[in-house]
Structure 1
């Protein structure tokens, strides 16, 4: 019996080694040949022209632009349900509880100077979302520079009819301004990673409470410094003009579906949010996903792909639309096996900085971030052991991206879980979800995030990787699962070795051995549990071969972990 087991093991993994070299080669060939980065770039260029807020002109125009792409690709408008045709799309319309908003124009000029020192034409983020308009023709008033915000002292000042200015986020002054009778607030709020002293014209977009009696404008570093210098010289009077539109509207979400031939209720869902005013954030996600949908329809119609499960593409309001897609139909939600957010996927990193990243589902690196692991400037999330989400999805996607990276000389990295995009609703509902993005981006959320910062090649690499992964998973068979077992096992052993070396060094440096051993144990358990999830990967029920592969891989990981724990004990002794 022991000899038979050994023979089975050798035969099984010999087959895995042979097959695992190219389980996705066929799909890579199709996506590399078919993905047209020019299409993705053109869509991105159209969307980025607009300041997009749910319900406003730019948001709706973007949705309908995607609709036209889908219709031309062969998707038909859904009447009742997704079963009507293999390729369907629908636009969901919902009345908005609050009015939508869009900017029209703005400028600030120092009275006595011929030209505004900042205007909407160059800085469309200067008007916070929900800001109202000034009277037609603008207003003229004295500006009061507040070096420090001390409410007790400000309340003693005569601010009626004046404009307050500080080098702080204007939200800190709005309530004070309204109470004191001021007409407006000018503020400044740029994080260090945007390097405002270098990129002096950038403004990150913001928002304010709707229906406020006080208007607010945001300043760039250069504008802030100019106004500050003028105020320090003496009395300064400004002419401010703001024109915005605030009106009732509908919120739109567009969803396209490629119906699976065997298990159509099971699906992979891609999500790209439309709102926000940037080119990379997130017009690039909209453009990349639109080209992915177009190519999928093309490949399906010429019978080069035959998805066994369904593939869904969603464009809407960040987090809101994805969460609603999951929560509105509990039966549908049970069939969502994977989710992926495309957010900020087009950066020309030579201009923006940073690199392409996959934000992982919560694994132990989100708790113990050490070695080469590091969080972005976005910041770590609050993750404990109870929040860990063991699944093969992390390694599966990362390895596919690395394959494309090697092929295309494309830099691929990852970061521990942080949250904040359309992957989070999936995770909150216990659905494997990942984020494809770029960071750190010095133009993140700023009005310098324009089409000249977008790389068609970057969108191509992201689109190829994402589609290849999805095609593989929605039609996964026994061989795909066994190859994934081999891949995840190798990744697990590599990670355990890395963590062992870090823990050994930590113990030698005086750290508690029990804590270091615990880290290794948690990583072992995470990978053992991740391997177990591969059993559900094949479209058909788990086979004996897949189960055996998982068992052998699990044993190897657990044995290696015991070796490392024993060596750590010796270091401690």
Structure 2
């Protein structure tokens, strides 16, 4: 049903164009609410308009105080200079390497003593501290009156020991620098012999400002819209994260403009990640669905990074998950075997449950109700490092993802009754497969019926007969499975207080160190279950108790720890972020 759109997309989408856009975007240091970000936004607006696409830049107050959907807006930040010298050797220079300064550092100029801190008691008032652990280090530095920190923290230290990690302060009034793991290893040895005289010069400032969002529109026949979203922020270069998503969005928009006007409009948003989406959605929630492009250009063999479809959470059922999977299956038919009896891909890919961590987190929240899957490459050896450069961006991969995204967007935007009925059959086929593999048939049937209902947001078709097919199969399967009836225990009933995901940034920033240490220890103890928390919150609608929520989370991703969920909901209640009925 989408074959013609797929073939048109293959013909029109240019990975070369997209990579050229990426190469222009990475020239800017795109930290949220900064001049570099604003210049990149202006460039993107210009490119949209050159391709005949109606575009505007939306502005939202951003001053470190104003909240959007529970997210604290960042202050504007400017930096002109950032230098770290130890024993006359230059370890960091913002002008040479933007990531060498911890972003949002406060201004400072002068000579200070640098010491090494291996444990909490090593953090001393009035010193600059070298630490391997940025997250704990900044908290200890704030609490004990340290001037700032130097760190070699790096998730890629074994793959890229000479790279620098992108790190940022979010409200902590400190300054800091990033050095490579290789330099950090040498510096630790030197500092164990004694403190070092160090020269620091950071010329920076904070001020009330505006968050800017680039909003472009492909016009449709109806007054309905779907969203294509990519975050424009991140430090220079930020090639795959996320100049790739933005560059590809620009190319997709160019192609969509050439297609016949669809029934529904397509809104393309380039945002400061999460904060910009929260601000936009606080005023605009009347969208049918969306797609998030984040880290979509990886050279898979350099980055060791497969392409993923990340689905919407089960709490926000959506037909688009299955549509994306179907399109991916077609795109994977790249080459044939010797006798042309089978086709297969030359790239890695997978389909995963919801995980969050990008702008689809906000849109797919059931209280927002704009179901938005994501296309992403994960993991990536060079993620959030100075090595996320243009040579890691592959124009062939940009084309693959561009074809998938363009086909998905245009098919949904132009969907009529015939397409909706085909899609309903596809959802039913996938639903039956999921039921056959399910360990909880009742849960699966409930979700799959809602997946069918989600099509009716687009076209008001009758899906009752298809629901009956799902029920008939589930009844047959129940006869073949000995179901042990379990009485659901009574328990706390959490209920959300706000629209959108729960942000802990302000809460943790204001929390006393001892309490924050307990929070961190708990999260570390249950780190394998951290991904269950957002999914649990999505189900907290005031109708389900903690055991029902726990059961749903386990059905969705295969694991849960109910005691951990109870602790988390009680933590949220303590900080007035959720209500609990007992």
Normalising by the smaller structure, the TM-score range is: 0.7 to 0.9
Per-residue CA shift, 1:34-92, capped at 9, x if unaligned?
112222111111212222123322211211111121121112xxxxxxxxxxxx22122
Q: What aligned pairs does 1:27-106 form with structure 2 within 5 A after superposition?
A: 27-75=5-53, 88-98=54-64, 99-106=75-82
Partner of 1:187: 151
Q: 2:454 aligns with which of 533, 541, 553?
A: 533
Counterpart of 2:130 (choices 153, 165, 176) is 165
8 A Cα contact 2:77 2:104, kept in partner: yes
Give yes or no for contact 2:166–2:385 (8 Å, CA) kept in 1: yes
- 5+ residue gaps, structure 1, are 1-22, 76-87, 300-304, 364-387, 500-515
Contact 1:203–1:218 (CA<8 Å) still a contact in 2?
yes
Tell me if structure 2 keeps the 8 A contact 1:69–1:294.
Answer: no
SS of equivalent residue, structure 2 residue 291? strand
Asked if the contact 2:84–2:199 (Cα under 8 Å) also holds between the matched residues in 1, the reply is yes
| Cα contact 2:92–2:177 (8 A) shared by 1 | no
In 2, the alpha carbon distance for the partners of 1:452 and 1:177 equals 42
Q: Deviations over 1:192-232 (max 9, x none)?
A: xx3413311233322225583x4222333112211101112
Instruction: Give the number of aligned pairs.
Output: 459
**TM-score, structure 2 normalization:** 0.73
How far apart, CA to CA, are the structure 1 residues paired with 2:399 and 2:179?
A: 35
Q: Describe the superposition over 1:124-154 as per-residue Cα deviations: whole angstroms up to 9, x where unpaired.
A: 323122213333xxx333322122113xx75
CA shift in 2, pair 1:344/1:102, >3 Å: farther
Are the aligned partners of 2:82 and 2:93 in contact in 1 as well (CA < 8 Å)? yes
Q: Deviations over 1:149-194 (max 9, x none)?
A: 13xx756xxx54x32222221312322452xxx443223433xxx3
Decide whether the 8 Å contact of 1:355 with 1:412 is kept in 2. yes
1:319 to 274, 287, 292: 274
**Pairwise CA RMSD of aligned residues?**
2.5
2:159 corresponds to 1:220: no
Q: CA deviation at 1:486?
A: 2.1
3-state SS of paired residue (1:418): coil
Who is 1:175 aligned against? 142
CA distance, structure 1, for counterparts of residue 80 and residue 15 of structure 2 = 31
Find the partner of 1:126 among 84, 94, 100.
100
CA gap 1:282/1:490 in 2 versus in 1, 3 angstroms: same
Look up the SS of the partner of 2:215 in the other structure: strand
Q: SS where residue 456 of structure 2 aligns?
A: helix
Q: How far apart in 2 are the matches of 1:389 and 1:424?
A: 11
Shift of the 119–417 alpha-carbon distance from structure 1 to 2, 3 Å rule, reads same
- 1:418 aligns with 355
The CA deviation string for residues 270-318 of structure 1, in whole angstroms up to 9 with x for no partner, is 111111121111111110001111122233xxxxx12111111111222
**1:324–1:95 Cα change, 3 Å:** closer
- SS of residue in 1 equivalent to 2:332: helix
SS of residue in 2 equivalent to 1:233: coil
2:111 pairs, out of 128, 140, 143, with 140
1:258 aligns with 2:218: yes
Taking the aligned partners of 1:132 and 1:146, their CA distance within structure 2 comes to 21
SS at the partner of 2:188?
A: helix
List per-residue Cα deviations over 1:376-397 (Å, max 9, x = no partner): xxxxxxxxxxxx2222121112
Counterparts of 1:371-390 in structure 2 under 5 Å?
A: 388-390=315-317
Aligned counterpart for 1:349 among listed residues 291, 300, 320: 300
Q: Determine which of 463, 466, 489 is the counterpart of 1:553.
A: 466
1:271 touches 1:314 (CA, 8 Å); kept in 2?
yes
Show the counterpart of 1:208: 169
Q: Which residue of 1 aligns with 2:233?
A: 275
**Contact 1:110–1:237, Cα closer than 8 Å, also in 2:** yes
5 Å matches for 1:465-476?
Answer: 465-476=404-415
**Who is 1:460 aligned against?**
399
Q: 1:562 aligns with which of 460, 475, 482?
A: 475
- Please give the secondary structure, in 2, of the residue aligned with 1:311: strand
TM-score (norm 1): 0.74
> C-alpha separation between the residues in 2 aligned to 1:59 and 1:144?
35
What's the offset of the Cα at 1:471? 1.0
* Conserved? CA contact 1:55–1:249, under 8 Å: yes
Deviation at 1:254, TM superposition (A): 1.5
Shift in CA distance, 324/146, structure 1 to aligned 2, threshold 3 Å: closer
Q: Give 1:491's aligned residue.
A: 430
* Counterpart-to-counterpart distance in 1, 2:398 and 2:258: 19
Q: CA deviation at 1:107?
A: 4.0
C-alpha distance in 1 between matches for 2:168 and 2:218: 37
The 8 Å contact of residues 272 and 289 in structure 1, kept in 2 or not, is answered as yes
Structure 1 residues 564 and 55: CA distance shift in structure 2, 3 A: same
1:524 pairs with 2:445: yes
Distance change (3 Å), C-alpha of 1:211 and 1:534? closer
Contact 1:402 1:412 in 2 (8 A): no
Change (3 A) 1:201 1:426: same
